[in-house]
Amino acid sequence: MCMALNPDDQIRSRLIRHSDGPLELAPRPDAIPDAARIVDTRLPYQPDLVGADGLPENLRNAHSGSRHAAAEIRSAADRAWRVEVNIAGVTLTDAQKMQMRRERAAELVQSALDARTKVLRPVVERHKAELERRRARLVEKGTPKLAGVEAERSLRLADHFAKLEPETRALRIIEALNNASDPSARELLACVTWNNPHLDLVSPETRQRCLATLIATADEGEYAELTQLDGAVQATEASIENLERWSGTLSSEY
């Protein structure tokens, strides 16, 4: 039979510790977690360079420079965050200190970002301009410009080609596209590209494909270099853009 405790014993029972493990106090509802434990330390995504050999050194350095810049910007933000916030004669709440640290980190991040992109972006812009100039020269070189005997042969070939069955024309074009280095195949591709589109020798899409093939095979070495350079410029530009987006959200991670 249980005996009821008197009021003094009830109070004493509440004060007795009934567990042996460590005590864990619940956090205050307005407590701010330790920023060092919640920061996302990942750096921004950086597309890889495909075949870096043969690329200009300054473009390779600009590509890797975005990764180094991210590490420097992260370090600058961390240093700013570790500095205590104190204003003489003013008592700041934890929330106010947190906000001031974020603002200071954001300023340092933006300053470091501006210093880096001021060097990286001009490199990309110069190579984009170079890429456009070289691409224009290759397009000019591969675009058919027929005159004299060549033009007359192309007109006769177009007249003969137009009389073929559509299935036969399609097969001949496919064969020519797959063997664009052969002189007779190139003559057919130049024919359907140079002659008036209203002759309806091929569809507009196939005509554009024929022209693209002529351009790509006009100077295969130059075309390969331009393809590599174009990929490197895009990868470097994407790296810088990812760096800028990541830097803009960095102070909010604290």
Is the Cβ–Cβ distance between 246 and 44 less than 8 Å? yes
For residues 176 and 213, what is the distance between their CA atoms, to the nearest angstrom?
10
The angle that helices 183-194 and 166-178 make with each other, rounded to 10 degrees, is 120
What's residue 35's pLDDT?
Answer: 42
What's residue 216's pLDDT?
Answer: 93
Within 8 A by CB and 6+ apart from 112, the residues are: 69, 72, 73, 76
C-alpha Rg value of the chain to the nearest Å: 35
pLDDT-based confidence at residue 37 (cuts at 50, 70, 90): very low
Query: Whose structure tokens read 């043969």?
Result: 54
Residue-range domain boundaries for the chain: 144-227
Average pLDDT, the chain: 82
> What's the average model confidence in pLDDT over 33-51?
63
Asked if residue 123 has pLDDT above 60, the reply is yes
> What's the average model confidence in pLDDT over 94-114?
83
pLDDT-based confidence at residue 36 (cuts at 50, 70, 90): very low
Instruction: Give per-residue pLDDT as tens, 177-222.
Output: 999 989 999 999 999 999 988 888 899 999 999 999 999 999 999 9
pLDDT-based confidence at residue 253 (cuts at 50, 70, 90): low
Is the Cβ–Cβ distance between 233 and 121 less than 8 Å? no
Instruction: Give per-residue pLDDT as tens, 127-171.
Output: 999 999 999 999 999 999 999 999 999 999 999 999 999 899 999
